[in-house]
């Protein structure tokens, strides 16, 4: 793996050495403590930039959930992402406050600032803090992990009424979770006034939740629970705010928990606290949530016993839309994921002479959307295929990264 590249050629060790020599705290000249680092359109009066002052610094906790940060710092589509490796972003610790409170991402603990500092690095990479508002969580997951994000619109799949389809989705979500992937979910807001509106069930619209556990829960008590085969598909979520939970069936204090033995509850890590974390059945989840994003973490190390993918990278210098190619319609998705800032269309070509004369049949296409990252999942039979990337707007050019992953 290549070492991280210094963003804007700022090298941490050199900057630290110079600050120690001058006996001065670092002030980042590339991301100054002013409105230009905060906004590109809006303005808020009275903001003060302050450095954290704690008597005992709190290190990054062992049980930190990366999602708490990711769903709070989802990036705008204009984020400058490195195609060929990680970026090392240097920041100072001056943070924007209003009335002596952090404005953006913050922890419940007043001595814990890691999330606000990482958010600042992401804001610097994106241009300013405002660029993070209303951003794309799928893109943020890719930026922070290098994984592959698959967004799913739960309103288009009949997951509420089609039990077989819902069960298949649950198995896929469970597989991603068990392999260490990251998952987030949200409820679409239909208007600006709807953003972060709280529903009667306790859930919040236009707000991303982290999925922290997915499992089949055994019902019953004592020996009966082992002989009965009845299990319930359940999913646990966490509101990054650390409060405001689901209050329906299987919420913290609901009577449904009497159906589960004490040992099973302990195994699940079940707690009755207003900490923003709660359980739901997967059926209720599909009923209330409108979107879910599965981010697979790609393990390509030859030394790992948990290796899941082989990886090959193709870099393109030119990408151009063609007016001759029709905008593709949505196709079936299952095994062929690709993550790139393009539309991926897989098509069959039957000529065996390694030259393409005609495209015989369109096999599948991703949804045509103006997004930095596009994902396609589909079943493909053995054969030769052509992948045709196109940009959303005709004539637009740019670099792109194409990644193809298969189970076999």
The per-residue DSSP string of 118-139 comes to HHHHHHHHHSSGGGGTT-BHHH
Q: How confident is the model at residue 37 (pLDDT cuts 50, 70, 90)?
A: very high
Tell me whether residue 178 is one of the annotated catalytic residues.
no
pLDDT confidence of residue 207: 82
Please tell me which residue in 73, 115, 128, 286 is annotated as part of the active site: 73
Provide the b/e sequence for 305-316 (b: ≥16 CB within 10 Å). Answer: eeeebeeeeeee
pLDDT greater at residue 243 or residue 269: 269
pLDDT band at 305 (very low <50, low <70, confident <90, very high): low
Nearest by Cα to 35 from 49, 24, 23: 49
For 141-155, what is each residue's pLDDT tens digit?
888 887 888 889 999
Give the pLDDT band (50/70/90) at residue 328. Answer: very low
Q: Read off the pLDDT of residues 330-370 as tens digits, 9 standing for 90 and up.
A: 333 333 334 333 333 334 444 444 444 555 677 777 777 76
pLDDT at residue number 353: 47
Domains of the chain: residue spans and CATH: 5-145 (no CATH), 148-294 (3.90.70.10), 312-408 (2.60.120)
- Residue with more model confidence, 371 or 358: 371
Q: Residue 391: its pLDDT value, please?
A: 74
pLDDT average, residue stretch 192-199: 84
Q: Which of 106, 115, 207, 286 is catalytic?
A: 207
Residue 330: the pLDDT is 30
Pairing of strands 400-403, 313-316: antiparallel
Flag whether pLDDT at 65 surpasses 70.
no
The pLDDT value recorded for residue 91 is 95
What confidence score (pLDDT) does residue 381 get? Answer: 80
Residue 43 has pLDDT above 90, yes or no: no
Q: How many CB atoms lie within 10 A of CB 141?
A: 31
Contact 151, 136 (CB under 8 A): no
Active site residue 62: no
pLDDT for position 229: 65
Q: Model confidence over 253-287: pLDDT tens digits?
A: 899 999 888 888 888 888 877 778 899 999 999 99
1 is known as an active-site residue: no
How much is the average pLDDT of 59-80? 46
Residue 88 is inside which H or E element, if any?
A: strand 87-88
Residue 159's region, left for phi above 0, alpha for psi from -120 to 50, else beta, is: alpha
Active-site residue, selected from the candidate residues 67, 177, 239, 340: 239
Mean per-residue pLDDT of the chain: 77
Exposure of 380 in the CB half-sphere (CA atoms within 13 A) = 27
How large is the greatest C-alpha to C-alpha distance in the chain, in angstroms?
71
E strand or H helix at 225? helix 222-227
Per-residue confidence band for 79, with pLDDT thresholds at 50, 70 and 90 = very low
Least confident interval from 69-73, 161-165, 167-171:
69-73
* pLDDT value, residue 316: 45
What is the rounded CA–CA span in Å between residue 173 and residue 211?
A: 10
Confidence of residue 106 (pLDDT cuts 50, 70, 90): confident
């Amino acid at each position: 793996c290549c070492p991280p590249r210094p963003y804007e050629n700022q090298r941490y060790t050199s900057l630290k050495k110079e600050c120690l020599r001058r006996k001065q705290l670092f002030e980042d000249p590339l991301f100054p403590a002013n409105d230009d680092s905060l906004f590109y359109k809006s303005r808020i009066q009275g903001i003060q930039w302050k450095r954290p002052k704690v008597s005992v610094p709190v290190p990054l906790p062992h049980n930190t959930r990366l999602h708490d940060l990711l769903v709070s710092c989802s990036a705008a589509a204009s984020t400058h992402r490195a195609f060929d490796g990680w970026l090392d972003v240097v920041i100072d610790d001056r943070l924007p406050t209003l009335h002596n409170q952090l404005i953006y991402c913050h922890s419940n603990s007043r001595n814990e600032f890691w999330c606000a500092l990482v958010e600042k690095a992401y804001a610097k990479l994106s241009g300013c803090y405002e660029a993070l508002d209303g951003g794309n969580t799928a893109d943020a997951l890719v930026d922070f992990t290098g994984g592959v994000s698959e967004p799913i619109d739960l309103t288009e799949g009949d997951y509420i009424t089609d039990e077989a389809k819902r069960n298949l989705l649950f198995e896929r979500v469970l597989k991603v979770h068990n392999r260490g992937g990251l998952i987030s979910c949200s409820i679409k807001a239909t208007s600006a006034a709807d953003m972060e509106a709280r529903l009667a069930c306790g859930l919040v619209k236009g707000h991303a939740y982290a999925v922290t556990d997915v499992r089949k829960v055994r019902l019953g008590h004592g020996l009966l629970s082992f002989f009965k085969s009845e299990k319930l598909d359940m999913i646990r979520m966490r509101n990054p705010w650390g409060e405001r939970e689901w209050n329906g069936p299987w919420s913290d204090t609901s009577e449904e928990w009497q159906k589960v033995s004490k040992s099973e509850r302990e195994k699940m890590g079940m707690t009755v606290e207003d900490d923003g974390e709660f359980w739901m059945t997967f059926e209720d989840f599909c009923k209330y949530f409108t979107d879910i994003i599965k981010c697979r973490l790609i393990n390509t190390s030859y030394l790992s016993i948990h290796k899941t993918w082989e990886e090959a990278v193709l870099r393109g210098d030119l990408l151009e839309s063609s007016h001759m190619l029709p905008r593709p319609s949505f196709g079936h998705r299952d095994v062929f994921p690709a993550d790139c800032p393009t539309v991926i269309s897989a098509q069959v070509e039957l000529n065996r002479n390694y030259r393409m004369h005609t495209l015989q049949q369109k096999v599948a296409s991703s949804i045509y959307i103006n997004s930095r990252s596009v994902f396609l999942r589909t079943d493909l039979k053995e054969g030769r295929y052509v992948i045709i990337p196109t940009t959303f707007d005709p004539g637009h050019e740019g670099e792109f990264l194409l990644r193809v992953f298969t189970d076999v």
